[in-house]
Chain A
Amino acid sequence: MASTEQVPAAPATRAPRGPSLARRLRRGYDRWWFAYVMLLPVVVVMGVLVFFPLARGIAFSFTDADRYTIGGQDIPSSYRYIGVDNYTTLDDDPNFWSVLGFTGIWTFVNVFFHFAIGLGLAVMLNRTLRLRGFYRMLLLVPWAVPSFITAFAWRYLFNVPNGFFDQVLRAIGVDGPAWLGDPTWAKVSVVTVNVWLGIPFMMVALLGGLQSIDKELLDASSVDGASNLRRFWDVTLPGLRPVAATVILLGIIWTFNMFNVIFLITQGGPADETQILVTYAYRYFLDYQLYGVAAAYGVLILSILLVFSSIYRATVRKLGEETWA
């Protein structure tokens, strides 16, 4: 696309019946063949790793593929096209709506705290203070540790009665909650872990955003007599918007599909109360091996995120952020 626009034939000078399409293509090729050759590996790799599996996944969601019909190795496949049945029967599963609901709550609460706490820490670090490098490094630890190790460590901390939290509470004479055993507390627990995990990314990204805000704007506003709060609200926050808009969208997509924390800490339990869409799809995929249904879950997740991202982008753009696309 970009290359054809740069073919040196301005629309004004082009005759109504200008050079034929074939000739234009030839000219474009003659001029840009090298660019196409350079692009080819990327296109091939993306095709093999992204577009082909995506297309197959979408195709599977319209079939009755399961453990028997999928085939494999030298076993022929025998699944059939069944239209949209996998989608229309998604809510036959009694857990479907509660899983969908918790996925939404999970995503919103997590990203809210990621952003709020990450911003707070970024503001605190965005000034000259002693040992700043040390604090920054310390705050990056959750990000540096592989998430499955984090999950197992927290699962141990939450254990009742043998975990750290329960032991400490008991030592001071408090009967602690059933961190992973009570549906509500289990939700609080997994959200806590994921908030802890997600803060460093927000903090680093927002710190970068803060440092790119023009110092002169801040100085000018204080000369004009703006209070600290006003300066933060009217100069710092608008200045952060390009960065914030992007990292919030990224955070939402990542959190929506955050498999490790839930699967490794509660496995969706107790009583399926902490399942999110992606962990629930896993159950269909690996436990029941109903590949068609699992693929429908995948497409559902993709569609939700696509619709959300386009609305989000449109909203952000309407709010006056033209530089962000």
Chain B
Amino acid sequence: MRSIRSRAFVPALAAMVLAAVLVATPAAARTDVVAKRQATTTITFWQTMNDEETKTLRTIVAAFSKANPSIKVNMQYVPFDQAQARYATAAQGGKAPDVLRAEIAWIADYAARGFLADLTKHISAADRRDFLPSAYAYGLWRGKTYAVPQVTDAPALLYNKAMLRAANVTVPTTIQQLETACAKFGAGKGIFLRGDAYFVQPWIWAYGGGLVNPLKREILIASKGSVNGMTAYKRLFDADCAFDNEDFANDYGNMQTAFKNGDVAMIVNGPWATADILSGRAFRNRANLGVAPVPRGTAGQGSPVGGHSYVISRRAKNVDAAYRFIQFLSRAQNQATLAAKNNLLPTRKSAYQARVVKANPIISAFLKQMLVARARPVLPEGGAIYTDFGPNVQKVLLGDSTPAQGMLAVAQAWKTKLFRAYSIKR
């Protein structure tokens, strides 16, 4: 009895599979017909903007949906600090979203690993000429274009004009002036410095240091200039006039809060933070917010060029529709809207001609910073350089290691984990 049953099992299974195939085939054909009639495509879009920016983005996406009823946009928020790794994991598993708002340092990595659609042929010559060369360069990998730039930025010195006036301080242009200016304020009221590697970079460049030089295959973070920059940063961090930053885990939010409430006169932050700052108590009069280039050191000045771009996954179901979407998002008019509402720097030259952008004093002030900002080298490893950099900056600030030891530890971590073929310049 049992053997009969088990013998019958195989043909039964085969019959079921066959039936399933037969049923599925006409069904698939039917879907095609339906799709042709309505021609709907769904684009999944992972975006990483902050709350203030997201409000503006929603209106722009709504405008796109209205103009393109056949394309449905499924927008999902992914926290900025998780997006880089999540996208890589998703892309490896074949589950990447169609469109991602990627930080500029991630693009080369994704492109080198074959995650991204080549957009070289999609971008028109006129568009290409219109984008700022520095922003466009981050989307290039081995001569092909993989990204459409959305926004560019560089941290600048932000200051509370009323507090500076009350302390009889002029806006510092050198690090030395910054230190004396800070000292004119009471304990903890001069400046808020973060325990974060990204914000140490201006000091490192100001003293002639650097990160890496891919042409010479050198790691520069342990060089004399970098160590001097770290030393100067720590000197100001330890100064009495610097805010008592005792919580690195929450210090971005604490910095914003202190500056918004008028508890501290100066911070270093990018244009993306200004919309939030202007909602603060100390800036009810918007004109009270001052923006100046980060101060110079003995060997020049620099602030890291950052920004975000839109990329399309190579496996996107409909690359043309996805491109239409990101092309719409990065139109001059929409860049101008984001610029006017959120003080973000457009990546199109034409967007700067818009009246709302020209009239925005914060954007024009940040443009001065952009002129002296430094582009980071376009490297696939670029997104991972802060992983060991940050903790070692914290070690130095806590006094657990000297600036020289800390920067050497960063260099060694980079050499073993990222740049194996490079040499460490001392």
Interface residues, chain A, CB within 8 Å of chain B? 33, 67-68, 70, 72-73, 75, 92-94, 155, 158-163, 178-183, 265-272, 283, 286-290
Contacts and interface: CB of A to CB of B under 8 A. Distances in A.
A289 B248 CA distance: 25
B417 A180 contact: no
B373 to A, nearest CB: 25
Contacts of B359: none
Contacts, number: 100
Contacts of B341: none
A180 B113 contact: no
B246 A178 contact: yes
Given A160-B254, A178-B247, 4 more contacts: A67-B380, A269-B394, A286-B85, A288-B417
Nearest to B6: A33
Contacts of A272: 391, 395
Contacts of A183: 398, 400
B93 interface: yes
B88 interface: yes
B417 A271 contact: no
Nearest to A73: B94
A165 to B, nearest CB: 11
B392 A271 contact: yes
Given A68-B113, A75-B114, A269-B248, A92 B416 contact: yes
A265 B247 CA distance: 11
Most buried by A among B244, B391, B392, B412: B391
Contacts of A271: 391-392, 394-395, 398, 400
A33 B1 CA distance: 14
Contact of A269 (B109, B257, B391): B391
Nearest to A34: B2
A181 B257 CA distance: 18
Give the contact-size bracket for chain B: 35 or more
B159 to A, nearest CB: 21
Contacts of A180: 247-250
A271 B384 CA distance: 17
Main secondary structure of the interface of B (DSSP, over half): helix
A290 B381 CA distance: 12
Interface string B71-99: 00000000000000100110111100000
Contacts of B113: 67-68, 75
B403 interface: no
Contacts of A267: 249
Contacts of A269: 248-249, 390-391, 394
Nearest to A95: B391
B1 to A, nearest CB: 12
Nearest to A189: B249
Q: Which 8 interchain pairs have the tightest Cβ spacing? A: A178-B246, A72-B92, A286-B85, A181-B246, A271-B394, A271-B395, A287-B387, A272-B391
Most buried by B among A70, A155, A271, A288: A271
Contacts of B380: 67
A70 B245 CA distance: 41
Contacts of B412: 94
A160 B247 contact: yes
B194 to A, nearest CB: 12
Interface in B110-140: 112-114
A159 B254 contact: yes
A183 B195 CA distance: 14
Contacts of B384: 287-289
17 contacts: A67-B88, A68-B113, A72-B93, A73-B93, A94-B409, A94-B412, A94-B413, A159-B254, A160-B247, A181-B246, A181-B247, A182-B246, A269-B248, A270-B391, A283-B387, A286-B88, A289-B88
A72 B91 contact: yes
B426 interface: no
Contacts of A68: 112-113
A266 B391 CA distance: 11
B365 interface: no
Contacts of B391: 268-272
B281 to A, nearest CB: 14
Nearest to B392: A271
A179 B88 CA distance: 34
Nearest to A290: B417
Nearest to A30: B2
Contacts of B395: 271-272
Nearest to A178: B246
B374 to A, nearest CB: 23
B418 interface: yes
B254 A288 contact: no
Contacts of A182: 246, 398
B376 interface: no
A159 B387 contact: no
A271 B394 CA distance: 5
B248 A181 contact: yes
A94 B394 CA distance: 15
Nearest to A72: B92
Interface in B374-420: 380, 384, 387, 390-392, 394-395, 398, 400, 409, 412-413, 416-418
Contacts of B358: none
A159 B250 contact: yes
